Amino acid sequence: MKTRNSFVSNSSSSSFVLVATFEAHDKIMAKLSETEQKIMKHLITENTFGNQKVKIFKDYCDAGGYYYHDPDNFDWEKAGIDGDDLEEPCDDFHEAKYHYQTAAEELKEEGEDGIVIEKVGDGG
C-alpha cells in the first residue's frame, strides 16, 4: 500500500494547515470578533510536538465546494452562538476561517515565529 506523507494537490482543490504555538494562537484570536473566536475555538485542535503544545487549524476545499469544516454541520449551540442572531451564518462561518488565516499571515509577516502555514493548490 502506498502512503502519502505530504499534501496532494490538483488545480481543483486546495488545502490549508496552520500550526501555531499557544502564544501565537492567542495573538491571532485577539484580532477576531467575539463570534469569530467562538467559531474558531471549535475548529482548532491541540497537539504536542516534542515538548511544544500547539494549536492546529486545517481546512480543505474541493472543486465541488466541499469543505473540511462545513457550516451545515457546525454545532452553533455548542459554540455558544444563536444562529438566528446571525444574518448569514454560512458567510459568518467562512469569514471566521478567512480572518483567522489572514490574521496569522499578518502576524507571520510582522515576524511572529510561532506560526507555520502550509497551503497547497489554488482552489480553482
Q: What are the per-10-residue average pLDDT scores of the chain (124 residues)?
A: 43 77 97 94 93 91 68 85 80 90 95 90 55
Residue 94: what pLDDT? 87
Q: Could you state, in order of their start, the residue ranges of all structural domains in the chain? A: 14-121
pLDDT at residue 63 in the model: 64
Distance, CA of 75 to CA of 81 (rounded, Å):
9
For residue 88, the model assigns a pLDDT of: 84
Predicted local confidence at residue 13, as pLDDT: 63
Burial of residue 61, with CB atoms counted within 10 A of its CB: 0-12 exposed, 13-18 middle, 19 or more buried: buried
Query: What is the phi-psi region of residue 74: left when phi exceeds 0, alpha when psi lies from -120 to 50, beta otherwise?
Result: beta
